[in-house]
Amino acid sequence: MNNSIEEIWKKGFISDDALVAPKLNDLYNKKSKNIVDKFEMVFKWNLIGLLVFAVVVLVVSSIQGIPYLGLFISAMLMSLVIRGRKEQNSLKLLDKSGSSYQYLKSFDDWLKQMMIGYGKLYSFFYPALFLSIATQIRNTEFGQLAINGFVNEYPDTVMLFATPLYLLLAVAVIASLLLYFSGVLYRIDFNSLYGRMLTKLKDIISDMEELRR
Amino acid sequence: MGSDFYTTSILPYAPIIIKICRAYTNNQQDFEDYYQEVCLQIWRSRDNFKHQSEWSTWIYKLSLNVCLTYLKKAKNTHQHFVSDRLPEELIEDSQNFNEQSIDQLYRAIRQLSEIDRGVILLYLEERPYQEIAAIIGSNANNIGVRIKRIKQRLNKILNIKEN
């Protein structure tokens, strides 16, 4: 080669008109597919994790001599898994033949519906989990010792089901608070897993909406 | 992205973006992906432009950063090429480049490190050393030395006799 690199460069681009810009079509196709795929993957592994955890809880609780508590918690976890499987199947039914925008909007709608459904389930899950653990603790040796200590300290305390009323009230208040804040707790739980994806999804949808104007 | 913004603020600078994206990609598909990503990032970051430099300088900077980030992601997922080896299948034809030697020059540029690619592109685009230094995050003296070294390497690859 005889030309210098500067000359090659200049000759190569004598006219900038020769540089044809690619069309900006399907700008978000890949992004849309990626985000839904990623969500599906995390969701799937989350369900597998819950399933494994349900089995582990059952086995460990049986070994520890608290099989009923284990069975109850496992059953609750399994209900989450079953619900999740249903949601997974409905996600597959989303229409992929439309535009990226329509696809992402339908995914967003699916997500909102799923969160409402799961939110309801969790409003039962959190208090029930707490009550089952509290009941189990009450029936252990440690629980009985604690109650005896409480009764010795406050001999005039009112008892109900062989348990100090104040203690029952405290448990009831905590369970009520868990019921009341179950939505918030679920969102915190959900965002810890999917928060970044949700933010990205919102950004993409908002970009696309601006694009459509 | 509003079509007005694209037409008035991006399209006139498309040659810059095309030249940079071409140096970081090996095929038309990747090139179009990079180009679209750069355009998207320009649009999304448009409010960050504070008029402290020319719009074109800002576009150079953003294009390079997007290409470097994209390349890093691609490397991490092992989906694309590596920069230190000349890929076997390089696009021979190019609707954007009508001179065969420019393709050869691009092939040579792709053998450089990611940063050196950016430096030489800016140099070939006749940007002042000071501006290249500002874009790359170096100082003008270092840029001068670096450009000399990059040119030597390119000349060697392209078998160009130096004066």
Domains and CATH numbers, chain B: 3-84+96-158 (1.20.140.160)
CB contact under 8 A, A27 and B158: no
> Within the 97-126 window of chain B, which residues sit less than 8 Å (CB to CB) from chain A?
97-99, 101-102, 104-105, 120, 124
Quick check: is A213 in a domain?
no
Quick check: is A203 in a domain?
yes
d(CA A61, CA B11): 66
Quick check: is A110 in a domain?
yes
pTM, two decimal places: 0.55
- For each of chain A's 213 residues, which pLDDT tens digit applies? 567 888 888 888 776 556 677 766 555 666 666 778 888 889 999 999 999 999 999 999 899 888 888 999 999 999 999 999 999 888 888 777 667 777 788 888 999 899 888 888 888 899 999 998 888 888 888 888 888 888 888 888 888 888 888 889 999 999 999 999 988 888 898 888 888 888 888 877 877 776 666
Using CB atoms within 10 A of its CB, is residue A79 exposed (0-12), middle (13-18) or buried (19+)?
A: middle
B4: chain A residues, CB-CB within 8 Å? none
User: What CA–CA distances, in Å, run from A55 to A84, A87, B94, B127?
Assistant: 17, 22, 59, 65
Which residue on chain B is closest to A19 by alpha carbon?
B96
Full residue range of the structural domain in which residue A127 is found: 25-208
Q: Does A3 touch chain B (CB under 8 A)?
A: yes
Total number of domains in chain A: 1
First and final C-alpha spacing in chain A: 51
Quick check: is A75 in a domain?
yes
Distance from CA of A4 to the nearest CA of B (A): 7
Residue A151: per-residue pLDDT? 85
Residue with the two structure tokens 């992004």: A31
Quick check: is A7 in a domain?
no
* ipTM confidence score: 0.76
Q: Which tokens belong to A60?
A: 């460990």
- pLDDT at residue B86 tops 70: no
Quick check: is A13 in a domain?
no
Distance from CA of A208 to the nearest CA of B (A): 8
Q: What mean pLDDT do residues B21-29 have?
A: 86
